[in-house]
Structure 1
Amino acid sequence: MGEAVTTRKSGTPIKVYCLPEEKALIAANARNAGMSVARFLREVGQGYRVHGIVDYERVRELARINGDLGRLGGLLKLWLTDDRRTAHFGEATIRALLARIESTQDQMGAVMHAIVSHRR
């Protein structure tokens, strides 16, 4: 017969008594790190430095901004390929489009900076 496989479930649990607010804080920290409470406590207890995941709201904001850039880039591409749908675009429209792309890039940079600054 083969060797018995040791799993965490067959190991010995460690009980930790804590107040309700401590438990809530531990759960929130685990959630912010993208981990289960058990994994979070196991890793912290073994001395690992837990790295949190990026705030989901900021990720959604970056995805929205990226979508805006894609749409703006698509318009610019149509204009550059002399697509008949953009024949009425004048220089002022193209300059406004380029300014909007630059502004949107600035928005994305600001969100990324906020994420990095928040994690320090």
Structure 2
Amino acid sequence: MISPQPAETKARRRGKPIEVWVNDEEKSQIAIRAKECGLSRSGYLRAVGLNYPVRSVVDLAAVTDLAKVNGDLGRVAGLLKLMLLEKRGQGERAIDVHALMVEFRELQGEVRAIMSKVVYEGK
């Protein structure tokens, strides 16, 4: 059985323009904010005017960076734990190692909390 072809994506049907009078500085700020959201100026103003959520691409990029750092923290903690298990009795006391591992987990929790705040408050 042959599956149906996906419907072609159609460009948004143009309606009627709305004139908004702004000075050069305001126009520049609107252009910057639209770009930060990955939208055209028209798309940005439409979304804001209709009270749709607009999300900054910069915020989402920050969340992606934080997710990478969170993963790196987890890998470093795992490697540290593995290294210490292989060299049991040498180097640091077990209680100090445990405290360090707890600190790693707390840092991961803080990173996740920041990511959640950016993602959910941005909606």
Q: Is the 8 A contact 1:30 1:40 kept in 2?
A: yes
Q: Is the 8 A contact 2:73 2:108 kept in 1?
A: no
Select the structure with the greater relative contact order (CA < 8 A; seq sep ≥ 6): 2
Q: How does 1:8-19 map to 2 (within 5 A)?
A: 14=17, 16-19=20-23
Q: Partner residue of 1:33? A: 37
User: What number of residue pairs does the alignment pair up?
Assistant: 109
Q: Is the 8 A contact 2:66 2:115 kept in 1?
A: no
Q: CA deviation at 1:7?
A: 4.6
Sequence identity of aligned pairs in percent? 24
1:12 & 1:116 partners in 2: Cα distance? 32
Q: Partner residue of 1:111? A: 114
Q: Partner residue of 1:70? A: 75
2:25 & 2:53 partners in 1: Cα distance? 21
Q: Is the 8 A contact 2:30 2:41 kept in 1?
A: yes
2:15 & 2:48 partners in 1: Cα distance? 18
1:63 & 1:20 partners in 2: Cα distance? 39
> Which region of structure 1 is more displaced relative to structure 2, 32-41 or 21-30?
32-41
1:93 & 1:108 partners in 2: Cα distance? 23
Q: Partner residue of 1:101? A: 104
Measured against aligned partners, the alpha-carbon deviations of 1:41-98 in whole angstroms (never above 9, x if no partner) come to: 34445x360321362345424432331222212332x258x5x4x4436413431331
Which sections of structure 1, spanning at least 5 residues, go unmatched?
Answer: 1-5
Q: Scaled by the length of structure 1, what TM-score is found?
A: 0.58
Out of 91, 94, 114, which is 1:91 matched to?
Answer: 94
2:99 & 2:11 partners in 1: Cα distance? 61
Q: Scaled by the length of structure 2, what TM-score is found?
A: 0.57
1:25 & 1:116 partners in 2: Cα distance? 23
Which sections of structure 2, spanning at least 5 residues, go unmatched?
Answer: 1-9
